[in-house]
Amino acid sequence: MKRLTFISTGLLAIGFTIFGCATQPSRQADPGWITLIDGASGLDNWNRVGTAIWTAGEGVVQADKSEKGGGFLVSKN
């Protein structure tokens, strides 16, 4: 009898855990995320610092090699 109770309790705990992980939270009006790189507009939200030539495409942001040092991006936000 104790074994059956233990197994039942364990299965309920596993079931509630799976159910809790499977549901998605409700969407909020302002999720707090800011899109920094957005497809075609690419690097419009960034200031380029240095001599590197930055490009965005195919899900990647990259800098071409520059003759003098490098560079980095600074968010306008």
Per-residue pLDDT tens digits for 44-72: 888 888 888 888 877 788 887 766 777 88
Nearest to 56 by CA among 68, 72, 44, 74: 44
Per-residue pLDDT tens digits for 4-50: 888 889 888 888 888 777 766 665 556 677 777 776 677 888 888 88
pLDDT of residue 27: 59
**Cα distance between residue 1 and residue 67, in whole Å:** 78
